[in-house]
Structure formats: C-alpha cells, structure tokens
Amino acid sequence: MSNEKIKIRESLTLSPFFLFFLIHSSQTGIGMLSMQRDIAKYAEQDAWIGIVIAGLYLHVIFLMLFKILASSNNGDVISLHQQYFGKIFGNILSMVFVVYFFLLLLLVFRSYIEILQIWVYSIVAPWEIGLVITVVIFYIVLGGFRVIAGISFWSTLIPIILVFVLGYTLKFSHFSNLQPFFNHDIKEILLSAKEGIISFVGFETVLLFFPFIKKGKSTKRWAHLGLLFTTLTYLILTIITYAFYNQGMLKYIIWPTLSMTKIVQVPFIERFEYIFIFSWLLVVMPPMCLCIWAITRSLKEMLNIKSSFSLTGILVLVNILSILLIDRDSIHFVKKATTQLSIYILFH
C-alpha cells in the first residue's frame, strides 16, 4: 500500500481556532439536559467529582488521539487502520466507528424528538417531527464540513441562555444540598464518572475531520480548551442543579435542566421553556451533523460510496429506527448500547 499522503485542498480546511467549537459542540446536546440525574445514581451529591475525573481522563485521551493521528498517512483513523491492518481488516475495524457514530446519531435524534413530544407537541407523531429535523440536517451536511463548523460556532453561543436560567435559580437554591462533601467512596465516584462519559462523547469525530484542520502549534491547545470548556460547563450546571434540587427530588426528574427553565418568568413570554427547547435544536444539530458527516466520509473512503447517496440512506434509516423506538425503555436501550460501545472505544 502506498505511503503517499493525500492533502486536503486549502480551500476546504479550517483554522485551528474552530477546533474549540467543533470539540465543544460535539459534546453538548441532549446529555446536557439530563446528565445531572444520571450521574447522581451512584455518588449522589458528590457526583460532581465524577465530572472532574471524566474531564481529566479525556484530556489524556486527547493526547493519545493526536499522537495516533500524527502517524496516519492521511491524518484520519480510516487510513490508519488500512495502513496497519490492510484494507480488509482495516475497514472492518473502521466499521466499528461507523456503527458507533450511527448509534450516537440515533440516540440524539430520537431523544430530542421525545422531548418535543412530551413538552410541546404531544399529539404529533414522531415521524412528523423527525421529517422536519431530517430536512434541516440534510441541508447542513450537504453544504459540507465548513457549513457544519459554522453551525458549531453558533451552537456554542446559544447555551449562553443557560447563564440567564442558572442565575434565576440561585435565589431558590440551597447549597447545603451539596453537603456532606466527599461522603462516597472512590468506587461510587468512578461509577458516576463512567455514567457521565456518555455526555462527553461525540468528540471522536475528530478522528475523521482532523485532516480538514490546518496544522500549527495551537492545534492541540484549541482542542484541549474545547474539552475544558465542556467540563466546566457540565461542572457548573451539575453544582447549580444539586443546589436547586435535593437528591430525593432529582430521582423523579428526567430532564433537570429543562425543569429548571420552568421557573423563569419573563413579562412578554408565558412559557420560557418553549423558547429554550426550540433554541436547543441548534445545540443538538452539530453532534448529529458531525456524526452523519463522519459516517458518509468513512463509507466514501472505505467503499467509495458517493456521500450524497449514503447521506440519504442514513437519514432514511435513522427515521425508520426512530419510529420503532416507541417508549423510554427502547430509547434507554440505545443509550446503554452507545455508552458501552463508547467506553470500549475510549478504554480499549
């Protein structure tokens, strides 16, 4: 096999600065709305420590990823697998990432539809909501990687709404809910960190889009800053949530972040949570678009399938499967499968 590197056209590449937005936006989405409840199952009020541990661990993973990509001919994981394992076995290994990105896409897609159904459109069928979202995704991904990067930039700014929401909750918060500190053993805290990993995943798409980033001294720095910003966002959100809800209440609240928006009162807006939910579509778009883009690029490199053809097929399949996921148990099954696969990829 040839060791000649294939260079991406300069017009298609992006400044390393965009790595900050791509990494952060790929990690935030649906998990930001329910993560506080999930990680509290093991370490309760000490679960925020698990967020710190997960964030620090992923910084180490980032260093490993950049080291791995540096040895790849084309700068992505597809060429790396083919380089070391041959085309057939290399493509088999790469298909694991394709399945993983697809599960992540399906999870975010169906979870957001579920939120819209429960909170806003209770009588609208999932396929109708999914069809509207599909059209938006198709338009963005068809525009190419630079368009996705632009959406990622704006999706990072939208969660600033959270600052207003969190500030409003402070007068109702009781930070004594966080006590006693360090009341759980290391095993329980690590289990919380493991549970919270699903909220951080999505950044693995860097294994496919890294060749489109201009290389320089600041490349790694912007990636680490993106991860750091995600970690701090989750940490602050978790602490504020635990101060607002006690652990007994948190067990019965599926989306704590959304529930907190209900107390916000604005004179000219009767239901602020509706504004929040609809604006969150822009936040969940980047992880979905990045996953689809990563899948289409993988299929193009491995099987020479035209991107527009695979894009259409993926979106049709996602819509069909989302219709089959009729309740929370089925959605939870996809979430559990995605979590297990992400842990396998990150830890092995």
CA–CA distance, 177 with 181 (Å, rounded to integer): 10
Question: Is residue 7 one of the residues assigned to a domain?
Answer: no
202, 29 Cβ separation under 8 angstroms? yes
Amino acid type, 194: K
pTM for this one?
A: 0.90
276-329 confidence digits (pLDDT tens): 888 888 899 999 999 999 999 999 989 888 888 999 999 999 999 999 988 888
Which of 1-15, 113-127, 178-192, 201-215 bottoms out in mean pLDDT, i.e. has the lowest?
A: 1-15
Name which of 189, 206, 192, 199 is nearest 61 in CA terms. 206
Chain-centroid distance, C-alpha 243: 25
Question: How many domains in the chain?
Answer: 1
Query: Which domain range does residue 222 map to?
Result: 12-347
CA–CA distance, 339 with 110 (Å, rounded to integer): 16
Whether residue 5 is predicted with pLDDT greater than 60 in this model: the reply is no
Question: Is residue 2 one of the residues assigned to a domain?
Answer: no
CA–CA distance, 236 with 78 (Å, rounded to integer): 36
Which of 144-158, 242-256, 258-272 bottoms out in mean pLDDT, i.e. has the lowest?
A: 258-272
- Residue 100, CA distances (Å) to 94, 128, 342 in order: 10, 26, 7
CA–CA distance, 102 with 110 (Å, rounded to integer): 12
Question: Is residue 82 one of the residues assigned to a domain?
Answer: yes
Whether residue 3 is predicted with pLDDT greater than 60 in this model: the reply is no
Assign 348 a pLDDT band (cuts: 50, 70, 90). Answer: low
For residue 121, the 8-state DSSP code is -
Average pLDDT for residues 118-141, to the nearest whole number?
A: 90
Question: Is residue 4 one of the residues assigned to a domain?
Answer: no
pLDDT given at position 1: 42
160-187 confidence digits (pLDDT tens): 766 667 777 888 888 888 888 888 888 8
Assign 8 a pLDDT band (cuts: 50, 70, 90). Answer: low
13-29 confidence digits (pLDDT tens): 888 888 999 999 988 88
Structure tokens at 156: 């990072």
| CATH number of the domain enclosing 88 | 1.20.1740.10
Average per-residue pLDDT for the chain: 86
CA–CA distance, 38 with 250 (Å, rounded to integer): 9
Question: Is residue 3 one of the residues assigned to a domain?
Answer: no
pLDDT given at position 201: 86
40, 182 Cβ separation under 8 angstroms? no
Amino acid type, 177: N
Question: Is residue 111 one of the residues assigned to a domain?
Answer: yes
Which segments of the chain does DSSP mark as H helices, in order? Answer: 17-27, 31-43, 47-70, 77-119, 126-142, 145-157, 161-169, 186-200, 206-209, 219-244, 247-250, 256-261, 272-303, 307-324, 328-347
